[in-house]
Structure 1
Amino acid sequence: MMNLNQLEHLLALDDTRHFAKAADKVHLSQPAFSRSIQALERQTNLILFERKSGEIRPTPAGQFLIDRARQLILEARAVQRDIHLYQRGEVGELAFGVGPFPCATLARSVIENIRNAYPKVALQTEIASPAELLAMLVREEIEFFVADTGDIGTVPFLQIEPLMRQYGHLYARCGHPLAKGKHTFEQAWEYGIASVKLPAPLKAGLGQLLQQSNRNLPQLALECDDVNLLHQLAVNTNTVVASTDLAAKPWIDKQQLVMLDISDFPKLFSNISIVSLGNRVRSPVASYATAQFRQLVA
Structure 2
Amino acid sequence: MMELRRLAHLVALADVRHFARAAEQVHLSQPAFSRSIQSIENDLGIRLFDRVVGGVQPTPAGEFVIKRARALLFDARCLQRDVDLYRDGHLGDTAFGAGPFPAATLLPKALSELRRRYPRVGLRVEESNWQQLLERLRTEHIEFFVADVRDLPEDAALEIRVLGTQHFDLYIRASHPLAASQCTLADAWGYGVAAAKVPIAVKAKLARALGLPAGQQVVLALECDDIAILRSVALSTDTVLAATQASVQADIDAGSLLPLRIRGWPSLHSEMGVVSLRNRTPSPMAKKAIACIAQVASEVDTPVPYAQ
Q: TM-score range by the shorter chain?
A: 0.5 to 0.7
Q: Secondary structure at the match of 2:160?
A: strand
- Confirm whether residue 245 of structure 1 aligns to residue 245 of structure 2: yes
Answer whether contact 1:169 1:259 (CA < 8 A) is retained: yes
CA distance in 1, matches of 2:254, 2:127: 26
1:85 is displaced (CA, Å) by 9.2
Answer whether contact 2:162 2:274 (CA < 8 A) is retained: yes
Alignment partner, residue 22 of structure 1: none
Q: Secondary structure at the match of 1:228?
A: helix
- Code of the aligned partner of 1:173: R
1:206 is displaced (CA, Å) by 2.9
- Code of the aligned partner of 1:88: H
Alignment partner, residue 100 of structure 1: 100
Q: Which runs of 5+ in 2 are unaligned?
A: 1-83, 299-308
CA distance in 1, matches of 2:86, 2:202: 48
Cα separation, partners in 2 of 1:157 and 1:84, compared to 1, 3 Å? closer
Alignment partner, residue 115 of structure 2: 115
Answer whether contact 1:180 1:260 (CA < 8 A) is retained: no
CA distance in 2, matches of 1:175, 1:115: 39
Query: Once the two structures are superposed, what CA deviation does each residue of 1:72-128 show, in whole Å capped at 9, x if it has no partner?
Result: xxxxxxxxxx85895332xx4211000100000111121222223333332211101
> After superposition, where does 1:142-181 map in structure 2 within 5 Å?
142-181=142-181
Cα separation, partners in 2 of 1:83 and 1:283, compared to 1, 3 Å? closer
Answer whether contact 2:150 2:199 (CA < 8 A) is retained: no
Alignment partner, residue 89 of structure 2: 87
Q: Provide TM-score, normalisation by structure 2.
A: 0.65
Answer whether contact 1:87 1:284 (CA < 8 A) is retained: no
> After superposition, where does 1:2-17 map in structure 2 within 5 Å?
none
Query: Once the two structures are superposed, what CA deviation does each residue of 1:217-272 show, in whole Å capped at 9, x if it has no partner?
Result: 33211101111211121111111100101112111011100111111221111110
Q: Secondary structure at the match of 1:104?
A: helix
Q: Percent of pairs identical after alignment?
A: 40
Q: Provide TM-score, normalisation by structure 1.
A: 0.67
- Code of the aligned partner of 1:96: F
Query: Once the two structures are superposed, what CA deviation does each residue of 1:143-172 show, in whole Å capped at 9, x if it has no partner?
Result: 011110011244211111111200100000
Cα separation, partners in 2 of 1:84 and 1:161, compared to 1, 3 Å? closer
> After superposition, where does 1:1-298 map in structure 2 within 5 Å?
87-89=89-91, 92-200=92-200, 202-213=202-213, 216-298=216-298
Cα separation, partners in 2 of 1:84 and 1:207, compared to 1, 3 Å? closer
1:179 is displaced (CA, Å) by 1.3
- Code of the aligned partner of 1:293: I
Alignment partner, residue 45 of structure 1: none
Answer with 1 or 2: which has the greater Rg: 1
Query: Once the two structures are superposed, what CA deviation does each residue of 1:146-204 show, in whole Å capped at 9, x if it has no partner?
Result: 11001124421111111120010000011211113221100001111100022455434
Q: Which runs of 5+ in 1 are unaligned?
A: 1-81
CA distance in 1, matches of 2:229, 2:242: 12
CA distance in 2, matches of 1:86, 1:173: 53
Q: How many residues align?
A: 215
- Code of the aligned partner of 2:196: V
Q: Secondary structure at the match of 2:106?
A: helix
Cα separation, partners in 2 of 1:86 and 1:272, compared to 1, 3 Å? farther
